[in-house]
């Protein structure tokens, strides 16, 4: 019998500022470079988990916890044959800060070897729909342990070097042209790509695509139709939208939207 791959599920719980969960089973496609507004806390369940950061590549063995901080650019290449399985808790930075006496934190160590914390989170990953286990209280307690043992206090820094990023933020998705944008800055498109990537960690095209995905997520959460979201966010059609959305999020737009209306 052929093994089933890419059976992924997205969930949202009405706790902790709208906790979001992603259950990835035997994923054989790669997640391109992107970032989140949340802390990503992933339990590695099958096959070594690869994470690419802007400055290094990391490998997390099965049974470990892999963490990325908010706004941290990363990519996740998966095994194209047998796939990778992992479970991710998307925890808002406000929740983490409140659990740490209103201090901002950062995780410098991306791979955590802690069997007790792993087991507690794994139990929650299997039972998040069980109303009898006091899920929220257990998760808060476990996150406090994780923060106490492995995080460092983070001073708020204000990055004012966002010249190219601010320009693209004000650019329409539909009218963006790499060559025209580069010429507006008086440079070749290759130099523009290099400087933009130095500033943001992403290529201009990847940045624009990620902005489209983020806008589409917000519209899907608000209940807009998938067709309208695809058109309004500058995708050619539903097929183009579905393909790119799943590459970044792990599930298709309908599965993502259903997670917000199944509560």
Taking the domains of the chain in order of start, what are their residue ranges?
A: 9-153, 163-260
Q: Which residue carries 């500022």 as its tokens?
A: 17
Q: Which residue carries 């790119």 as its tokens?
A: 244
Helix axes 238-249, 253-260, angle to 10 degrees: 70
Yes or no: say if 245 and 219 are a contact pair by the CB < 8 Å rule.
no
pLDDT, mean of residues 155-168:
61
CA proximity to 203, closest of 195, 211, 193: 193
Which pTM was predicted? 0.87
The whole-angstrom separation of Cα 243 and Cα 241 is 6
Asked if pLDDT for residue 39 goes beyond 50, the answer is yes
Lowest mean pLDDT among 1-15, 68-82, 87-101, 117-131: 1-15
Q: What percent of the chain has pLDDT over 90?
A: 66
Most confident of 21-25, 192-196, 207-211: 21-25
Any residues with CB less than 8 A from the CB of 111 and at least 6 apart, and which?
A: 58, 59, 60, 64, 65, 66, 67
The whole-angstrom separation of Cα 47 and Cα 247 is 19
Count of helix runs (H) and strand runs (E) in the chain: 10, 12
pLDDT recorded at residue 1? 40
Asked if pLDDT for residue 156 goes beyond 60, the answer is no
Secondary structure of residue 6 in the 3-state scheme? coil
Beta strand extents in 57-114 (DSSP E only) = 57-60, 65-68, 74-76, 84-92, 105-106, 111-112
CA proximity to 35, closest of 102, 121, 93, 82: 93
Q: Which of the pair, 113 or 169, is modelled with greater confidence?
A: 113
CA proximity to 233, closest of 218, 247, 221: 218
Backbone angles phi, psi at 38, to 5 degrees: -115, 170
- The CATH superfamily assigned to 9-153 is Jelly Rolls (2.60.120.10)
Domain 163-260 in CATH 1.10.10.60? The answer is yes
Q: Which residue carries 């095209």 as its tokens?
A: 205
Beta strand extents in the chain (DSSP E only) = 9-13, 19-27, 31-34, 38-46, 49-53, 57-60, 65-68, 74-76, 84-92, 105-106, 111-112, 152-153
């Amino acid at each position: 019998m052929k093994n089933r791959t890419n059976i992924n599920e997205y969930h949202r719980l009405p706790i902790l500022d709208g906790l979001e969960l992603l259950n990835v089973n035997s994923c054989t496609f790669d997640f391109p470079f992107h970032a989140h507004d949340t802390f990503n806390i992933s339990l590695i369940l099958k096959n070594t988990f690869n994470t690419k950061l802007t400055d290094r590549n990391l490998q997390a063995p099965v049974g470990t916890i892999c963490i990325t901080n908010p706004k941290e650019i990363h990519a996740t290449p998966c095994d194209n044959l047998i796939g990778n399985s992992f479970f991710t808790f998307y925890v808002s930075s406000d929740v983490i800060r409140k659990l740490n006496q209103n201090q901002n934190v950062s995780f410098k160590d991306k791979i955590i070897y802690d069997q007790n914390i792993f087991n507690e989170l794994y139990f929650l990953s299997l039972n998040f729909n069980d109303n009898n286990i006091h899920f929220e209280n257990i998760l808060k307690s476990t996150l406090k342990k994780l923060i106490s043992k492995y995080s460092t206090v983070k001073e708020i820094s204000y990055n004012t070097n966002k010249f190219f990023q601010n320009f693209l933020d004000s650019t329409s998705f539909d009218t963006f042209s790499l060559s025209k944008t580069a010429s507006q800055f008086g440079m070749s498109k290759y130099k523009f790509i290099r400087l933009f990537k130095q500033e943001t960690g992403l290529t201009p095209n990847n940045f624009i695509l990620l902005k489209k995905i983020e806008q589409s997520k917000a519209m899907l959460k608000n209940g807009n139709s998938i067709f309208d979201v695809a058109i309004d966010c500058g995708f050619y059609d539903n097929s183009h939208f579905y393909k790119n959305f799943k590459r970044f999020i792990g599930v298709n737009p309908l599965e993502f939207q259903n997670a917000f209306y199944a509560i």
